[in-house]
C-alpha cells in the first residue's frame, strides 16, 4: 500500500510533535555485510511512539545537593544497620556514590526494596534489599533508541533559541561543539539562521536513560547549508560533512579554554626578564596556577621534562609534520612521559610559572616541519576524513540521513 512516505512522516511529526521511533543503520565501520553488491541500509520505520508509554510504577528520584544514599534509602524504611552494611560493601562503592542530578529508581513491594540505576554503559544495576539481606545484579534491558527531531530559527542566541525549541542541554552543547569548528558564534550568526537536528534518546523499558548523540544536523548560516552526520571510524566517533570531510580540526584553537592571550608570537620581542631582544616564539595564555592544559591534537609525547628556560614542559609530536610545546607547567598530568599517546583535548599538565616566567601562564608553541609558527595564525588541517574503506557505506548513510532531515519540517 502506497500512501506517500513523506506525507506520512510529516503527519507523524505534526500529530505527535517530533517524537518517532526509527531503525537506522549503524554509523560505524564495524558493520557486517557480505559483499559490496549487497550493501543495504535498513529502512527507517516511522512509527509514532505510544502516547501512554509503558512507564514502570516506581519512584524516580533525582539526586539533589545534600542527598546521600543513606538519606534516600531511609525514606523507604530500610534499617540504618542494613544501609550501613551496604555502605561498607566495596563491590557497591560505585553504585552508592550519588552525584547531583543522578537518577535512581526505587520500588517497595512485598517487603522488598528495589534500587535501580543505570551505569554509563546503560546496564541496569539492581540492588534488592530484603530486611537485613541484600543482593546486587547487573542487567541489560533491551535498549530502545528513539530519534527526536527538533527544528528552530535563531531569533536571539543559538543557545536561547534552541532551549525554547525544547532541545535538551546536552544536545545543544554537542551542537555548539560540532558547528563551532566552522562557525564563530559571536560573529557569524544571523537572525533567521535555521537549525534542524536529529538526535537519539535512549530508553530502557520506558525510562529515558539518556539524551544521546546527534545523528544528523543541518545548519543554515547566512543562507548556506551545512549538513553533518555522525560516523565512527577507527573507533572514534566524529561528525563529517556530506562530502566526507571531518568537521573536527586536527588541532584545537587553544590549549586552554577561554584564556586571555597575554603575549603574542613576536620574532622581535624584548624579553621581560632578560631585557634583550629575543624572539617570542609562541603564544602566552594568562591563567591561574593549576588550570588544566589540554593537548591540542592527537599525538605522542616526545619530551616531558624540565629546562631552565621552559621550566616543566611537554613536546608532542603529531602525525606528519607538526609539533606542539607546552611550557612553564606547574606539573604534568598522570602518565605523561616520553612515548605516551595523547588524544586531542586530553589534559596533559597544569599551568604554572616554572622556568623563566614572570607569573603563571602557559607558553604554547606550534612547529611545522621543525619551524616555529604563530599558533594563532596557523590554519589547522581537518582531522582525518572518511577513508576509502568506509567511503561507500558512508555515502549510503549520507543519502539516508539527509533525506530524512531535509524532508521533515515542523515549521509551517
Ligand atoms: Zn611565552
Helix axes 388-407 and 5-15, enclosed angle (nearest 10) = 60
Residue 373 has pLDDT above 80, yes or no: yes
**CA 259 – ligand 1 centroid, Å:** 14
Identify any residues that bridge with 236 across adjacent strands, giving them in sequence order: 233
Which residue is associated with the grid cell 596533559?
348
**CA 343 – ligand 1 centroid, Å:** 24
Helix (H, G, I), strand (E, B) or coil at 284: strand
> Regarding predicted confidence, which is higher, 380 or 272?
380
DSSP string, 351-403: EB--SS-SSSEEEEEEEETTEEE-TTT--PPBPP---HHHHHHHHHHHHHHHH
Query: How far apart, in whole angstroms, are the C-alpha atoms of residue 55 and residue 82?
Result: 29
Residue 20 has pLDDT above 80, yes or no: no
pLDDT of 19 reads: 45
Query: Which tens digits make up the pLDDT trace of 128-162?
Result: 999 999 999 998 777 888 888 899 999 988 899 99
Which secondary structure element, helix H or strand E, spans residue 224, and what is its range? strand 224-233
Residue 49 has pLDDT above 70, yes or no: no
Which secondary structure element, helix H or strand E, spans residue 359, and what is its range? none
> Regarding predicted confidence, which is higher, 410 or 404?
404
Residue 2 has pLDDT above 70, yes or no: no
Q: Domain coordinates of the chain in residue numbers?
A: 1-52+142-248+385-412, 59-139, 260-373
The percent of residues above 70 in pLDDT, for the chain, comes to 84
**CA 285 – ligand 1 centroid, Å:** 8
Query: How far apart, in whole angstroms, are the C-alpha atoms of residue 10 and residue 408?
Result: 6
Residue 318 has pLDDT above 90, yes or no: yes
**CA 347 – ligand 1 centroid, Å:** 20
pLDDT of 35 reads: 40
Could you tell me which CATH class the domain 1-52+142-248+385-412 is placed in? alpha beta
Query: How far apart, in whole angstroms, are the C-alpha atoms of residue 328 and residue 363?
Result: 7
Domain 59-139, what fold?
Nuclear Transport Factor 2; Chain: A, (3.10.450)
**CA 348 – ligand 1 centroid, Å:** 18
**Residues 6+ away with beta carbon under 8 Å from 95:** 117, 125, 127, 136
Q: Which of 132, 213, 220 is nearest to 179 (CA)?
A: 220
**CA 381 – ligand 1 centroid, Å:** 24
The sign one gets for the Cα dihedral 44, 45, 50, 56 is negative
The sign one gets for the Cα dihedral 332, 337, 338, 341 is negative
**CA 284 – ligand 1 centroid, Å:** 5
Helix (H, G, I), strand (E, B) or coil at 228: strand
Which secondary structure element, helix H or strand E, spans residue 161, and what is its range? helix 158-164
**CA 265 – ligand 1 centroid, Å:** 8
**CA 354 – ligand 1 centroid, Å:** 12
**Residues 6+ away with beta carbon under 8 Å from 256:** 285, 287, 291, 292, 293, 294, 351, 362
- Measured in whole angstroms, the distance separating CA 154 from the mean position of its chain's CA atoms is 23
**CA 283 – ligand 1 centroid, Å:** 6
Identify any residues that bridge with 293 across adjacent strands, giving them in sequence order: 349
201, 148 in Cβ contact below 8 A?
yes
**CA 272 – ligand 1 centroid, Å:** 10
Identify any residues that bridge with 294 across adjacent strands, giving them in sequence order: 347
Write b or e for each residue in 385-398: b if 16 or more Cβ atoms lie within 10 A of its Cβ, otherwise e: bbeeebeebbeebb
Which secondary structure element, helix H or strand E, spans residue 362, and what is its range? strand 361-368
Asked which of 179-188, 284-293, 385-394 is least confident by mean pLDDT, the reply is 179-188
CATH of 260-373, one of 2.40.50.100, 2.70.70.10, 1.10.260.40, 3.40.50.300: 2.70.70.10
Which grid cell is 275?
631585557
Q: Matching CATH topology for 1-52+142-248+385-412 and 59-139?
A: yes
Which secondary structure element, helix H or strand E, spans residue 235, and what is its range? none
Helix (H, G, I), strand (E, B) or coil at 81: helix
Amino acid at each position: 500500500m502506497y500512501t506517500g512516505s513523506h506525507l506520512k512522516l510529516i503527519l507523524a511529526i505534526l500529530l505527535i510533535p517530533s517524537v518517532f521511533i526509527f531503525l537506522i543503520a549503524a554509523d560505524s565501520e564495524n558493520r557486517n555485510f557480505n559483499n559490496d553488491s549487497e550493501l543495504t541500509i535498513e529502512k527507517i520505520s516511522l512509527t509514532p511512539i505510544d502516547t501512554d508509554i509503558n512507564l514502570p510504577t516506581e519512584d524516580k528520584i533525582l539526586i539533589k545537593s545534600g542527598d546521600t544514599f543513606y538519606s534516600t534509602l531511609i525514606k523507604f524504611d530500610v534499617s540504618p544497620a542494613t544501609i550501613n552494611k551496604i555502605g561498607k560493601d566495596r563491590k557497591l562503592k560505585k553504585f552508592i556514590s550519588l552525584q547531583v542530578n543522578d537518577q535512581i529508581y526505587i520500588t517497595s513491594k512485598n517487603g522488598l526494596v528495589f534500587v535501580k540505576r543505570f551505569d554509563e554503559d546503560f546496564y541496569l544495576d539492581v540492588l534488592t534489599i530484603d530486611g537485613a539481606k541484600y543482593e546486587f545484579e547487573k542487567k541489560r534491558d533491551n535498549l530502545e533508541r528513539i530519534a527526536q527531531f527538533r527544528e528552530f530559527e535563531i531569533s536571539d542566541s543559538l543557545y536561547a533559541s534552541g532551549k525554547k525549541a525544547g532541545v535538551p542541554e546536552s544536545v545543544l552543547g554537542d551542537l555548539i561543539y560540532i558547528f563551532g569548528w566552522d562557525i564563530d558564534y559571536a560573529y557569524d550568526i544571523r537572525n533567521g539562521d535555521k537549525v534542524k537536528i536529529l538526535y537519539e534518546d535512549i530508553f530502557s523499558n520506558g525510562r529515558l536513560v539518556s539524551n544521546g548523540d546527534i545523528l544528523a544536523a543541518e545548519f543554515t548560516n547566512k543562507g548556506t547549508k551545512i549538513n553533518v552526520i555522525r560516523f565512527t571510524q577507527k573507533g572514534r566517533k566524529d561528525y563529517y560533512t556530506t562530502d566526507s570531510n571531518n568537521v573536527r580540526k586536527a588541532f584545537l584553537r587553544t590549549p586552554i579554554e577561554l584564556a586571555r592571550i597575554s603575549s603574542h608570537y613576536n620574532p622581535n620581542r624584548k624579553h621581560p626578564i632578560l631585557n634583550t631582544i629575543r624572539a617570542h616564539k609562541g603564544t602566552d595564555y594568562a591563567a591561574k596556577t593549576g588550570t588544566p592544559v589540554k593537548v591540542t591534537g592527537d599525538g605522542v609525547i616526545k619530551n616531558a621534562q624540565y629546562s631552565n628556560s621552559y621550566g616543566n614542559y611537554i613536546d608532542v609530536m603529531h602525525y606528519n609534520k607538526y609539533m606542539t610545546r607546552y611550557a612553564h607547567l606547574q606539573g604534568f598530568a598522570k602518565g605523561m612521559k616520553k612515548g605516551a599517546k595523547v588524544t586531542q583535548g586530553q589534559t596533559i599538565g597544569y599551568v604554572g610559572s616554572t622556568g623563566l616566567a614572570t607569573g603563571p601562564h602557559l607558553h604554547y608553541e606550534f612547529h611545522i616541519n621543525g619551524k616555529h609558527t604563530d599558533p594563532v595564525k596557523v590554519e589547522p588541517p581537518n582531522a582525518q576524513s572518511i577513508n576509502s574503506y568506509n567511503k561507500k557505506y558512508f555515502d549510503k548513510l549520507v543519502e539516508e540521513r539527509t533525506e530524512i532531515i531535509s524532508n521533515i519540517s515542523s515549521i509551517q
